[in-house]
Amino acid sequence: MDAQKKIQAISDEFQQLQTELEGLVDARQKLESQQQENQGVQSEFAQLDDESNIYKMVGPVLLKQDKTEATMAVNGRLEFIEKEIKRIEKEIEEKQDKSEEKRSEMLQIQSQAQQQQAAAASA
């Protein structure tokens, strides 16, 4: 059956889109938790007085860091994460639109096939 093959192909594409969508949602979740952690550090730094000692873990050693330097690093990371989240959110939207398209395409072919069958039966 021609219609069945078409439906199969579209359903495969639909599945593909769904897995891609899942991957993107996972990525966004990871970014969000990173964002939260960085925001926590940022607010912690904001409460510190300027003399407090800040160290950064680099591999197996702790390196002493300037407060302004550390704050800048965290701010930079937050900026980057925000951009990434926006980018991924846009991709998620695109994928959702595409899979919605596929879904309606599938339904259309299905109803067409049903109509043809009904016509054939009544003829």
Q: How many CB atoms lie within 10 A of CB 105?
A: 15
List the one residue from 15, 16, 29, 48 that touches other proteins (CB under 8 A). 48
Nearer of residues 7 and 74 to other proteins, judged by Cβ:
74
Q: Which element (helix H / strand E) includes 58?
A: strand 54-58
- With CA atoms as reference, report the closest residue to 91 among 13, 20, 34: 20
Are the CB atoms for 54 and 65 separated by under 8 Å? yes
Are the CB atoms for 100 and 14 separated by under 8 Å? no
Our finding on whether 26 is near other proteins (CB under 8 A) is: no
Query: Which stretch, 10-18, 45-53, 88-96, 109-117, contacts other proteins (CB under 8 A)?
Result: 45-53
Our finding on whether 7 is near other proteins (CB under 8 A) is: no
List the one residue from 37, 82, 89, 93 that touches other proteins (CB under 8 A). 37
Minimum distance of other proteins from residue 94's CB (angstroms): 19
Give the C-alpha separation, 33 to 81, whole Å.
10
Our finding on whether 44 is near other proteins (CB under 8 A) is: yes
List the one residue from 9, 25, 62, 107 that touches other proteins (CB under 8 A). 62
